[in-house]
Amino acid sequence: MLTHALSSPVVDNKRPMTKAVFKWAAVGAVLLLALYLTVALYAQNQIAFALLFLVVIGSAAYIFSSPKAYAHRYIYPSIAGMVVFIIFPLLYTVGIGFTNYSASNLLSQERVLEQLLSQRFQTGEERYDFKLYPTDDKFVMRLESPAGQSWASAPFSFSELQNSALAVAPVEQTAPDSQPLGIKDVIKLKEDLKSLSVNLEGGASLSLAGLRNFAPMQSLYGLRDDGSLVNQQTGVVYAPNQDIGFYEGPQGETLSPGWTVTIGWDNYVQVVTDSSIRGPFIEIFVWTLAFATMTVLFTLAVGLVLANILQWDQLKGKGFYRMMLILPYAVPAFISILVFKGLFNQNFGEINLVLENLFGVRPDWFSDPALARTMILIVNTWLGYPYMMLLCMGLLQAIPRDLYEASAMDGATPLDNLFRITLPQIIKPLMPLLIASFAFNFNNFVLIALLTGGAPDIIGATTPAGTTDLLVSYTYRIAFQDSGQNFGLAAAIATAIFILVGSLSLINLKLSKIKV
Amino acid sequence: MAMVQPRSVRYRVWATHFGLLCFIGIILFPLLMVVSISFRTGNFATGSLLPEHPSLEHWSLALGIPYTQADGTVLQPPFPVLLWLWNSIKIAVISSALILLLSTTSAYAFARLRFKFKGVILKSMLIFQMFPPVLSLVALYALFDQIGNHVSWLGIDTHGAVILASLGGMALHIWTIKGYFESIDRSLEEAAIVDGATTWQAFRYILLPLSVPILAVVFILAFVMNIMEYPIASILLLDVNNLTLAVGAQQYLYEQNYLWGDFAAAAVLSGLPITLIFLYCQKWIVGGLTAGGVKG
């Protein structure tokens, strides 16, 4: 059989030696690169990414070098794309759902420690005004104490100084001839100045305290042997707490920022028990279900009726009607959604203008929850019915005509035809497509993000939650819009949606009986 | 229905025509309105469908040409629309080409070669395709942040990143091409292999030339989908000059900076070519879409 001939690769025992050497050299080089990347990522504590690169590059090396995996060479790129950009992000998201990853717990513990140790506080009252005088490519720094005494440094450059302290000695008060740097140039040097420490002759060590002055400063926190931090100003000891990802004082007070730790099921528990999250969550979930169901029903109803009309033999000009009717589908969705956003605008929108002229009303489409939801359904029906119409038109072709002939003999009305012949005939092949449409609309992020952005807001919610938010846009807002940027909570909700969507598509696969 | 006709059929035909025309009128109202608004003066003007004082102000701004008003003040274009359109087209063309290239080879393997776990891989591809990328945006951002540390032209705020991310969604296209390959008779390839061609040669010189129509369809389908992609581009692209049209267009309608007229012109300008492409190719696009998913 051909398949056997194809699956056993047509190799190449007579392949020249050089080619084989070249091949193995290439494989070796790729593996070395993979190893380097993996180790580098592992060293940065990015274990998930290290594993990903190892798997992707390692399997590539195997598949493209082993004759046994010949067939897999053809599918490798698309599978790799799917693994890297769909499956890996999915697993990573599920993982984040079990951590407290958020704006307040963004960094690793080492980075947090580094940040805290770099904080300083002013030990004395006096501040020393400073001026920088450029000389060639170097600077001379002059300091002036509140008492009026002056100090000056030898010419220095920041790069030469590295991290050693700059020594200044007392001088006469007369200023040098050249002009000091303006504040703009000082701001440009801010990072260098921040890391500069200045030693006054006679003891005190100064650090940058503002844009114009230096002051005696000291590190705010000292690191102790047991890993805890001591506040050098107040003497309070902060111990690292790995359960919450913060340095914690004796009274439970915490130091910002915190680091990311695994917190188990806490995010899920929070959704279930915290009433200020649970309330909006349930409301949004119910609306999401209602939205997806109603969208499917409305688009199907409009689409089916139109498809039936367009099937009618007596009707002329079908091509024209068809073209006009699918126009909403042809216009890019992101443009038509924004067009509707403008047309529904309460003050300048054309829809309210028409309504006011006809009925004298000016509905508040964006601040009244019920109206906002109505608007979303109207817009989505507009966007979605052509797709249903096209589907139904295809399926209607397959219904035997004599069924309608028979029903006409029996005196059936068009409605009888629709409900007793057409629907039962097409519902079976239509079902998987309806479920797919349901799943798509369940996650119709673009519509909500561009049309209402979730507004109007649900009152009393601690997370950003709107009455028109779908679960996806709600998760997006928790992660990216809220000042708290609670990635962990967002990922937990995302995981729940993954499970739901996954089971929907499994059902769909069963229903559509796809043969592979 | 051809044989048995009710007597009133003529009136019903006319009623249907009337009903359909009314319906089309309502459906097309938003689109006609936008075209009309793009010719109005100013951003807050209201008026009838045919503007009383037509002005090319918004069109000039949409094309990137500063507009001099009657009183002498000069309006600067608010956003680089043409640049956005160019970005969108560039990203869509490159990623569609890559998608086409990679999904064709995959589809060939799924249609013709025999290997382990073929059914499982195919089915799981279909399932994973259903997961919306919006939900893993945090992970995608972190991923491209990491990639950007090593390869700067694939990092955050590059078009390379958006193109690369689009390679995750090939399952639909693979299914479409696979279906077409399976409808082509194998005997030609078999003959070629008997004559000593390699598998690759049979694919490259025999099957591919026969499949040009479906490849065109998949290219257009991928192009349309990529043009409309919003969530991933919205977090990966930051600089205003880097945005795609889908991400940039909404900036016209911020509450504080409401540029309705400018938006209308930009929308018509950029939406029209995409709409025409879609209408021209709609037969094939619909066929492709019904195979596996919905318009994304």
H-helix or E-strand containing B267? Answer: helix B260-292
Determine the pLDDT at residue B40.
Answer: 84
Chain B closest-CA separation from residue A29 CA (Å): 17
- Report the SS3 class of residue B12: helix
Q: For residue range A368-405, what is the model confidence (pLDDT) as tens digits?
A: 999 999 999 999 999 999 989 988 888 888 788 888 88
Largest Cα–Cα distance of chain B, in whole Å?
80
Q: If contacts are CB pairs under 8 Å, which of residues 63-92 in chain A contact chain B?
A: 70-72, 74-75, 77-79, 81-82, 84-90, 92
Burial A18-48, CB ≥16 within 10 A → b, else e = eeeeeeeeebeebbeebeebbeebeeeebeb
Whether the predicted pLDDT of A2 surpasses 60: no
Residue pointed to by tokens 């279900």:
A289
Determine the pLDDT at residue B289.
Answer: 54
Determine the pLDDT at residue A515.
Answer: 58
pLDDT averaged over chain A?
84
Q: For residue range A219-241, what is the model confidence (pLDDT) as tens digits?
A: 888 888 888 888 888 888 898 88
Q: If contacts are CB pairs under 8 Å, which of residues 186-205 in chain A contact chain B?
A: none
- The alpha carbons of chain B give a radius of gyration, in whole angstroms, of 25
Count of A–B CB contacts within 8 Å? 293
Q: For residue range A441-483, what is the model confidence (pLDDT) as tens digits?
A: 999 999 999 999 888 888 877 778 889 999 999 999 888 886 6
Whether the predicted pLDDT of A12 surpasses 60: no
- Report the SS3 class of residue A263: coil
Cross-chain residue pair A82–B103, CB shorter than 8 Å? no
Q: Bridge-partner residues for A206, per DSSP?
A: A198, A216
Q: If contacts are CB pairs under 8 Å, which of residues 495-514 in chain A contact chain B?
A: 497-498, 501-502, 504-506, 509, 514
Chain A closest-CA separation from residue B74 CA (Å): 24
Of the candidates B138, B246, B292, the beta carbon closest to that of A487 is on: B138
| Chain Cα centroid distance, residue A7 | 41
**Set of chain A residues whose Cβ sits within 8 Å of the Cβ of B95:** none
Average pLDDT over residues A414-441: 86
Which of B89, B114, B138 to probe the A interface (max A CBs under 10 A)?
Answer: B138
Q: If contacts are CB pairs under 8 Å, which of residues 99-138 in chain A contact chain B?
A: 101
CA–CA separation, B116 and B103 (whole Å): 19
Which of B10, B102, B134 to probe the A interface (max A CBs under 10 A)?
Answer: B134
Cross-chain residue pair B27–A327, CB shorter than 8 Å? yes
Pairing of strands B67-68, B74-75: antiparallel
Q: pLDDT tens per residue, chain B (296 residues)?
A: 444 555 677 888 899 999 999 999 999 999 998 888 888 877 766 666 677 778 888 888 888 888 887 777 888 888 898 899 999 999 999 999 999 999 999 999 998 888 888 888 888 888 888 888 888 888 898 889 888 887 888 888 999 999 999 988 888 888 888 888 888 888 888 899 899 998 889 898 988 988 888 888 888 888 888 988 999 999 899 999 999 999 998 888 887 778 888 888 989 988 888 888 888 877 766 665 555 433 33
Q: For residue range A98-133, what is the model confidence (pLDDT) as tens digits?
A: 999 888 888 888 888 888 888 888 777 778 888 888
Whether the predicted pLDDT of A10 surpasses 50: no
Cross-chain residue pair A475–B135, CB shorter than 8 Å? yes
- The alpha carbons of chain A give a radius of gyration, in whole angstroms, of 35
**Set of chain B residues whose Cβ sits within 8 Å of the Cβ of A439:** 130
Q: Are B57 and B67 in contact (CB under 8 A)?
A: yes
| Chain Cα centroid distance, residue A480 | 7
Determine the pLDDT at residue A255.
Answer: 86
Q: For residue range A166-179, what is the model confidence (pLDDT) as tens digits?
A: 888 888 766 667 77
Chain A closest-CA separation from residue B232 CA (Å): 11
pTM value is 0.82
Q: Which ipTM value was assigned to this complex?
A: 0.87
Determine the pLDDT at residue B96.
Answer: 94
Chain B closest-CA separation from residue A234 CA (Å): 38
Q: Are A159 and A127 in contact (CB under 8 A)?
A: no
Cross-chain residue pair B131–A86, CB shorter than 8 Å? yes
For chain A, give the percent of residues with pLDDT over 70. 94
A169 at the B interface (CB within 8 A)? Answer: no
Q: According to DSSP H, which parts of A312-418 are helical?
A: 318-325, 327-330, 333-343, 350-359, 369-396, 401-409, 414-416
Q: For residue range A267-325, what is the model confidence (pLDDT) as tens digits?
A: 999 888 988 888 888 999 999 999 999 999 999 999 999 998 888 888 888 888 988 99
Determine the pLDDT at residue B18.
Answer: 93
Whether the predicted pLDDT of A62 surpasses 90: no
Which of A4, A6, A312, A383 to probe the B interface (max B CBs under 10 A)?
Answer: A6
A223 at the B interface (CB within 8 A)? Answer: no
CA–CA separation, A435 and A497 (whole Å): 15
Cross-chain residue pair A332–B125, CB shorter than 8 Å? no
DSSP character at residue A399: S
Closest by CA position to B215, among listed B245, B184, B246: B184
**Set of chain B residues whose Cβ sits within 8 Å of the Cβ of A509:** 123, 126-127
Closest by CA position to A288, among listed A493, A506, A491: A493
Determine the pLDDT at residue A199.
Answer: 81
